[in-house]
Amino acid sequence: MNIEEYRDFCLSFGDDVEEKMPFSAFPHAGSVLVFYVHGHMFSLFDCDKFEVVTLKHQPESIDELRAEYDCIVRPSNLSPKYWIGIVPTAAPDELLRQLTRNSYEIVKAKYKIKNSAVKNEPN
């Protein structure tokens, strides 16, 4: 999957997905594109390189995933306890799609619950 296809895939999840380049003030991170759901990251990568896509994942299955797939690597600049890196050029497209969808669903579920609780609090 190339970078344009991957971007389109992330944006296809719905109207609650935003994309930003939040690190433009940093010389070596200015080209990092981040996808958000409910204001929280679920996918990020460097547009200039597209070598590793960083995704949220369930902590209890990260080691197993790394053991099964050579294309799963340490995440870029995020906790390896909660995040994985995937090499898009080495990963089967379906695996990249599956892990990206999983990341989106993890973040969406977590922050949808928190956002709902805040809205339901009495004034």
CATH code at position 17: 3.90.1150.30
Q: Which of 7-11, 16-20, 46-50, 118-122 has the lowest mean pLDDT?
A: 118-122
Residue 121 counted as domain residue: no
Assigned domain for 11 exists: yes
Does 20 reside within a domain? yes
- The answer to whether position 55 is within a domain reads yes
Range of the domain at 57: 3-115
Q: What is the pLDDT of residues 15-28, one digit of tens each?
A: 999 999 998 888 88
Chain centroid, CA 48 distance in Å? 17
Which one is predicted more confidently, 29 or 3? 3
70 within 8 A of 90, measured Cβ to Cβ:
yes
Give how many domains the chain has, as a whole number: 1
Q: What's the rounded Cα separation, in Å, for the pair 70 and 92?
A: 11
Question: Residue 120: inside a domain, yes or no?
Answer: no
Residue with tokens 């200015």: 30
In a domain, 24, yes or no: yes
Angle at the Cα of 74 from the Cα atoms of 16 and 91, rounded to 5 degrees: 70
- DSSP letter (8 states) at residue 97: H
Is 96 inside any structural domain? yes
Work out the angle at residue 73's Cα, subtended by the Cα atoms of residues 70 and 17, and round it to the nearest 5 degrees: 115
Identify whether 122 is part of a domain: no
What DSSP string runs through 21-42? -TTTTSTTTTTEEEEEETTEEE
The string of pLDDT tens digits covering residues 37-88 is: 999 999 999 999 999 999 999 999 999 999 999 999 999 889 999 999 999 9
H or E segment to which residue 86 belongs: strand 83-86
